[in-house]
Structure 1
Amino acid sequence: MTGSAFPTQTATDFKRKLDWFTPAERPKPQVFDGLVTAVQLQAGLGLHTLNATARQAFAVDGQRPPGAVLHCFLEGSTDARLDGKPMNLGRRNGEPVRLVLTAIDETQSFTRQSHENEYVRKVSIQMSHAWLDTYGFALPGTARAKGGQRMEWLASPEDVAALETLARFEGFTSPLVRLQAEATSLALLGRSFETLGTTPSLVPAGRALSDRECKQLRRIEDLARAFGALPSLRQLATEAGLSQSSLRRLVQSAYGRSPLEHVRHLRLHQIREDLERGHISIETAAELSGYSAASNFATAFRRTFGVTPSQVKRKTRSQIGDPR
């Protein structure tokens, strides 16, 4: 790596650059109860975390500069819009953690409407085009075309661990903490761009989803998370109020996969989360998975996560000191 990729910055420089919000976007001290951080890790690379509850309703009306942002909501959601279009960012209870990459090549308006007592725990990594070019990270497809682009995929367990680490940092005045945050952010970005570059089924969405489409997706996802037999394509289409072909197009444009594949991903991610928390046994997980046989469930689980349900359960027991 060249020297230009890691510009020398003093502690004073970092204190001056802790907040890369524009004046219009900068949250007022009285707005949140909780943790709000923003730090420039490198020239063109910024990290923002939020783990807080809004004390009052507030609105942000600003401009987003050209570049890319990797978004992840670990908990909560908010009404954010880019160029007037819903960004569809958030995570509801029981949903798998998702990563979203948005990229624009021209300055666009950014607005956010938050209500009183709105709780959000999120991580955002901001990248300028110059920073992306320095590292040779290529945005997929036509992401740098006019109008921008949005990509979404399910976070891996390794990604979730990195995001949780970033969300726990309480500040960045310590050089060691900044170094740890930078290393964690770079590793997360490296995995993300590897995913974007090597997953053929990950199809970029050329437009933002409408509120109606978001509600349709949530209905089928609620059905997917209702444990029992895996729903058929016909059942999913009926739940969404769409034809089967329209449902295929919607899920493909939103997630880059087929409806049934999306249902299986949701179900498996929820089961893994329950196993990691110690809420269910392996036998119960197999029953709840909706697969016709425990062996089919175990095979699908291993293909998705690279580990078996038994390995996840053993790791959970070792962490809580349960010798069983």
Structure 2
Amino acid sequence: MLSVQTSPVTTDKPLAIDAGQLRDVSAPVAHRHRLQAPSWNHRAPLLDGFMHLTEIQPGMLLRVADVHDRYDLTSRAELPAGVKIALVLDGNAHVRFGGRAITLGRDEPATDRAVAVTLARPERFVRNGRAGGHERTVTLTLTPAWLAANGYAWQPDPRTPPHLTRWTPSPGLLGLLEGVIDPGVLSAPPRTRQLRLTGAALSLAGEALAAAFDGVTATGTEAPVTSDRRLRRLIRLIDGGAELPSTQARLAARLGMSLSSLQRQFRSHYGMPLGRYLRRRRLAAAGEAIRQRGMNMETAANLAGYTSAANFATAFRREFGMPPSRCRGALQAD
């Protein structure tokens, strides 16, 4: 499966993080990001520390952060549908998913150190930082498409509020995550870094999803899991590259479905339009070609379905929060 590394903020040592960097590292996993701090002059850095975001697999994004708040900072954003997994290794995180406010932290009860949040629809997210506060966290974002491709497709009622499942992470998982949230690991050559982060992300997903989807959830109700073989086949065809250039009409014909039915079912199962998923995967494939083969921008634009390199660069930045030229920087670093 193709993957693309997206690191809007990649730091090898603790440093000051300003509003632009904070928005960049949040762009691939959250929308409409707003920042507010009573005594902040909008030019000074907001955090001290480092953050790193990587797309482990298509639709699986891992963010690690070790930061200290300079201000009483309130961050607001909109999270897309899917599953958000958060684990605090040190310090405390005061967050809100929709109308559900929680505090995660090492000093909290064991079951309040980690949470998996199932979002049936886009939801408001709020983080309340406190001046002098410290947060050492690992966050994993899983899109509906990733969940479906890995056997976790679900068809929630869009009126359903966020569902929170708390669980106690194993000592082995905690040790693994402590090993990767380190500037030395994050500054390693890209291939080495990606292998380390991939192992950590898959282990985190395994424990969290076992708690959130297997058996009875924290509220005593069965987690709603469904599957559609044709849609799962579609995800495999797209992510494998075989049908990435295909039109939606061709994909529908390949699956023996009408175009309207395919579009309706895809949005219902995965929480996003088929066209948006195709665009993201094409852009990711182009970014990977730049990173691995040094492909020029014009050829990469054509691979992604754009006739203009400028339009391709604009779409890439909008989707991943960074210019495609940064992928070439990753190739040189390797």
TM-score (norm 2): 0.50
Do the aligned partners of 2:96 and 2:127 also contact (CA within 8 Å) in 1? yes
Measure how far apart 1:57 and its partner are.
2.2
Equivalent position of 2:265 in the other structure:
none
Structure with the greater relative contact order (CA < 8 A, sep ≥ 6): 1 or 2? Answer: 2
Deviations along 1:141-167, one digit per CA (max 9) or x if unpaired, are: 979861121101111111211221232
Secondary structure at the residue paired with 2:71? coil
Equivalent position of 2:207 in the other structure:
191
Deviations along 1:104-152, one digit per CA (max 9) or x if unpaired, are: 111111112212111011111011011111111367x979861121101
Q: Does 1:90 align with 2:105?
A: yes
Do the aligned partners of 2:186 and 2:193 also contact (CA within 8 Å) in 1? no
Do the aligned partners of 1:72 and 1:98 also contact (CA within 8 Å) in 2? yes
Superposition misfits of 4+ residues, deviation over 4 angstroms: 15-20, 26-29, 93-97, 141-145, 195-200
Give the whole-Å Cα distance in 2 for the aligned partners of 1:105 and 1:176. Answer: 35
Equivalent position of 1:75 in the other structure:
90
Q: For structure 1, which segment, 180-189 or 99-108, has the greater mean C-alpha deviation from structure 2 after superposition?
A: 180-189
Q: Does 1:32 align with 2:47?
A: yes
TM-score (norm 1): 0.52
What is the alpha-carbon root mean square deviation over aligned residues?
Answer: 3.3
Q: Pick one of 130, 136, 140 that aligns with 2:145.
A: 130
Measure how far apart 1:37 and its partner are.
1.5
Equivalent position of 2:308 in the other structure:
none
**Structure 2 stretches of 5 or more lacking a match?**
11-23, 36-42, 222-334
Measure how far apart 1:79 and its partner are.
2.4
Do the aligned partners of 1:103 and 1:144 also contact (CA within 8 Å) in 2? no
Letter in 2 for 1:159: L
Do the aligned partners of 1:37 and 1:171 also contact (CA within 8 Å) in 2? no
Q: Does 1:161 align with 2:161?
A: no
Give the whole-Å Cα distance in 2 for the aligned partners of 1:29 and 1:134. Answer: 43
Q: Does 1:177 align with 2:221?
A: no
Equivalent position of 2:67 in the other structure:
52
Equivalent position of 2:289 in the other structure:
none
Q: Pick one of 130, 135, 138 that aligns with 1:115.
A: 130
Secondary structure at the residue paired with 1:88? strand
Give the whole-Å Cα distance in 1 for the aligned partners of 2:112 and 2:177. Answer: 10
Equivalent position of 2:119 in the other structure:
104
**Structure 1 stretches of 5 or more lacking a match?**
1-5, 207-324
Give the whole-Å Cα distance in 2 for the aligned partners of 1:205 and 1:102. Answer: 15
Give the whole-Å Cα distance in 1 for the aligned partners of 2:98 and 2:136. Answer: 24
Measure how far apart 1:83 and its partner are.
1.5
Give the whole-Å Cα distance in 1 for the aligned partners of 2:159 and 2:103. Answer: 21
Q: Pick one of 79, 99, 102 that aligns with 1:64.
A: 79
Do the aligned partners of 1:41 and 1:178 also contact (CA within 8 Å) in 2? yes
Structure 1 residues 145 and 113 mapped into 2: Cα distance closer, same or farther (>3 Å)? same
Do the aligned partners of 1:54 and 1:115 also contact (CA within 8 Å) in 2? yes
Do the aligned partners of 1:17 and 1:39 also contact (CA within 8 Å) in 2? no
Do the aligned partners of 1:150 and 1:205 also contact (CA within 8 Å) in 2? no
Equivalent position of 1:152 in the other structure:
166
Structure 1 residues 110 and 182 mapped into 2: Cα distance closer, same or farther (>3 Å)? same
Aligned residues: 196
Deviations along 1:31-80, one digit per CA (max 9) or x if unpaired, are: 12112122222221111111121122212121111111111011121321
Do the aligned partners of 2:98 and 2:124 also contact (CA within 8 Å) in 1? yes
Q: For structure 1, which segment, 141-150 or 37-46, has the greater mean C-alpha deviation from structure 2 after superposition?
A: 141-150
Give the whole-Å Cα distance in 2 for the aligned partners of 1:111 and 1:135. Answer: 29
Letter in 2 for 1:21: S
Deviations along 1:196-231, one digit per CA (max 9) or x if unpaired, are: 45565x52378xxxxxxxxxxxxxxxxxxxxxxxxx
Secondary structure at the residue paired with 1:154? coil
Letter in 1 for 2:64: T
Do the aligned partners of 2:173 and 2:203 also contact (CA within 8 Å) in 1? no
Structure 1 residues 204 and 144 mapped into 2: Cα distance closer, same or farther (>3 Å)? farther
Do the aligned partners of 1:56 and 1:117 also contact (CA within 8 Å) in 2? yes
Give the whole-Å Cα distance in 1 for the aligned partners of 2:25 and 2:148. Answer: 20
Do the aligned partners of 1:58 and 1:113 also contact (CA within 8 Å) in 2? yes
Do the aligned partners of 1:69 and 1:127 also contact (CA within 8 Å) in 2? yes
